Amino acid sequence: MQQSASSSGVAADGTSGTVLDQIIAGVREDLATRRAAVPPEEIAARARRAQQEAPARDARAALAGGRDDAAGVRILAEVKRSSPSKGALAEIPDPAELAAAYAAGGASAVSVLTEPRRFGGSLADLDAVRAAVDVPVLRKDFMVDEYQFHEARAHGADMVLLIVAALDDARLRDYLALTRELGMEALVEAHTAEEIERAAAVGARIVGINVRNLKTLDVDVAHYATLAGQLPADVVRVAESGVDGPGVVADYARDGADAVLVGEALVRDGDPGAALGRFRAASRA
């Protein structure tokens, strides 16, 4: 099933002015402001202290094995206020409270958007969630500079997002190595068969297939099944985007996902803990 989203300002051929391009331009501007406030050497020192005082949790172990578990797929539950495709989703005045509800409802990990312009997130949200839950926490942002990786660990992240489409092979390899040096894991996100090959070539251990086209914002949940067979057997498989109910989670589970990233469907539900239970039950069926 394909869901079309508005892509105003996006070139039809996706060559320039894409949503991804625009977001990354804003990310770099915001990063320059943070870097001026906290120099790179200071954020690196904070990251080292954080790893010494509270080592990163094992995100790979938390998300692994869902395809073979009678309890159902793992859920990576997301704290997400808005998105470029849907606009405002939920106010989320207390991200810590929401994250605690996720953990109580059986979420295996919590994803926190920290990009402010399009997603309404912040590092303060990451701090709040880290203090509220014991499960691994993903800093979900557009990682395009080494500074952001030190920043993620300094703020308690156990995992970061690496978008293959946003990085050349050298940066993808270097950033994955840096992630691991800092004690974290990376969710390496692919959208095409070629991107899956690139993720495998650098040794990704957690690979997400995002069924949203980042150039047009269209969603096609069937895209996961098309690509899942091309994932290496030894990676943790994460299905991303398109979840609007238990049926989609069941489809992802049937097609071999270990874990499913769910954001909008949870933040819009009045009882996210109960919703998590329905999603996992559907994956068992």
Q: Which of 82, 108, 111, 210 is catalytic?
A: 210
Q: Is 78 a catalytic residue?
A: yes
Catalytic residue among 83, 108, 140, 264: 140
Give the active site residue among 215, 240, 264, 283.
240
Q: Rounded to whole angstroms, how far apart are CA atoms 122 and 34?
A: 12
Any idea of the CA torsion for 60, 61, 67, 71, to the nearest 10 degrees? Answer: -140
Spatial separation of the C-alpha atoms in residues 73 and 40, rounded to whole Å: 38
- Closest by alpha carbon to 137, among 89, 76, 93? 76
210 is catalytic: yes
Active-site pick, 7, 241, 264, 283? 241
Residue 80 annotated to the active site: yes
Which residue among the candidates 7, 80, 151, 195 is catalytic per the annotation?
Answer: 80
Is residue 140 flagged as an active site residue?
A: yes
CA gap 260, 233 in Å, rounded: 17
Examine the residue annotation and report whether 189 is marked as an active-site residue of this protein.
yes
Task: Please tell me which residue in 115, 151, 185, 189 is annotated as part of the active site.
Answer: 189
Bin 46: left if φ > 0, else alpha if -120 < ψ < 50, else beta: alpha
The catalytically annotated residue of 78, 151, 185, 195 is: 78
Give the DSSP H/E element, type plus range, for residue 99. Answer: helix 95-104
Which residues, 6+ apart, have CB-to-CB distance to 19 below 8 Å? 7, 10, 84, 214, 215, 217
The DSSP symbol for 133 reads -
Q: Which residues are catalytic?
A: 78, 80, 140, 189, 210, 240-241
